[in-house]
Amino acid sequence: MVQKTPGLDPGVFVYTESISSTVSLCNLMTKWIIGVAVVVVVALGAWWYFAQAPAAKEAATPASTAPDTSDQALVQDSAAIDAQLQALDAQQ
Amino acid sequence: MNTSFNKLVAAAALAALLLPAIASAQSSAATSTALTATERVAQTVTAQATHVQKAADLMAALSLKLSLRLASSTASSTDIAEANTALADLNAQIADARLQATAAFGHVASATAADSTKANTNAELKIARADIVVARQDFAAARKDINKILQVLGVAR
């Protein structure tokens, strides 16, 4: 933007116009840089979110393990049941 | 004389302070005793139903293990068939015991509801106790089934 001030040398007009153009360019670049930065941050956030989701889902689902069906395990389970039933009988 | 009078006044003041408190405590104690009789039964049935649920959970876990063992068992086909019949009955008993526990919880909730009458409370608690009795019978049958299966599997207890 050229601002003409009466009584000043014409060279000053050119100088003022140059500064004004440079400031406008800087403003435009700043806007672009901020815009690109916002887009990059949003993209990185989305990527991080979708990268985490499957891992979290996997962690929430416990891995199924085969139960211990040995004789000892069966005897221990029977004893635990007996203890529970005795506790039930004790609650009269 | 003056000292005796002062003591008398002090004793009277102390009695005036303490007697209402004692009367109030006695009244609240009587009330809490009346409440406790019903609440005690409700608490007992609730505890019993909780034990029933825990025992059912334990039996269900054991039932799963027994089914896995039976699937890979080398016992005779007749024994395996008997064991599988016992296993099916075991699962049925567990399921019924769970139903009885749930029903008992429901009846206790009805009995202890704020708008429950005394007659309703007694009736609901009676039904809840009957539910627990049935659950015990289920477990007695389930225990026999478990013993039968363990015998087929050759597991010494």
CA torsion angle B93 B94 B100 B106 (round to 10): -160
Residue of higher predicted confidence among A26 and A12 = A26
- Could you tell me which chain B residue has the CA closest to the CA of A83? B55
- B126 contacts B110 by C-beta, under 8 angstroms: no
- Could you tell me which chain B residue has the CA closest to the CA of A76? B157
Mean local confidence (pLDDT), B20-49:
70
Residue A86 in contact with partner chain B when CB distance is under 8 A: no
Confidence at residue B87, expressed as pLDDT on a 0 to 100 scale: 97
- B65/A69 CB distance under 8 A: yes
Residue A51 in contact with partner chain B when CB distance is under 8 A: no
Question: What pTM was estimated for this model as a whole?
Answer: 0.61
- Residue reference for tokens 């005897």: A75
State pLDDT tens for residues B58-100: 999 999 999 999 999 888 999 999 999 999 999 999 999 999 9
The radius of gyration of chain B's CA atoms, rounded to the nearest angstrom, is 28
Identify the domain containing residue B50 by its residue range: 3-153
CA distance B22 to chain A (A): 34
State pLDDT tens for residues B115-141: 889 899 999 999 999 999 999 999 999
Closest residue to A85, CB basis, from B47, B55, B69? B55
Q: What is the ipTM of this complex?
A: 0.73
Which tokens belong to B126?
A: 């009676």
State pLDDT tens for residues A55-88: 777 677 766 788 999 999 999 999 999 999 999 9
- A80/B47 CB distance under 8 A: no
The fraction of chain A above a pLDDT of 70, given in percent, is 75
Query: In the predicted model, what is the mean pLDDT of chain B?
Result: 86
> Into how many domains does chain B fold?
1
Closest residue to B69, CB basis, from A69, A91, A92? A69
